[in-house]
Amino acid sequence: TWDIMKDLLMKIYNEVIQYEDTSIELGKALDEEVKQLIMPYEEAFNDEDLETVKALMYNLAYEAEKTGFVLGVKTAVHILMEVLDK
């Protein structure tokens, strides 16, 4: 059942949460952070290598956001269950 719930949460994240204002602002902040992190290496690496590194950074951030969302929902459900049991 956890796999089914996780799939549902991923659908919610991918189709709703990532389009919320907070997520859009987080994306803008991520763009700026990636830009700042890449800047010192622009002279040392070719464009293709820089794009590869950027893609890795964005993929890592996306996976972290999804995992954080799932953990947050999981925690909220546990707290709700505790409250309802009392």
Contact 54, 34 (CB under 8 A): yes
Task: Match 């659908």 to its residue by tokens.
Answer: 11
DSSP-assigned letter for residue 18: G
Is 0.85 surpassed by the pTM of this model? no
Q: How does pLDDT run across 21-30, given as a tens digit for each residue? A: 988 999 999 9
Contact 37, 50 (CB under 8 A): no
Q: How does pLDDT run across 34-75, given as a tens digit for each residue? A: 999 999 999 999 999 999 999 999 999 999 999 999 999 999
- Distance, CA of 25 to CA of 39 (rounded, Å): 21
Half-sphere exposure of 35 (CA within 13 A, CB side): 6
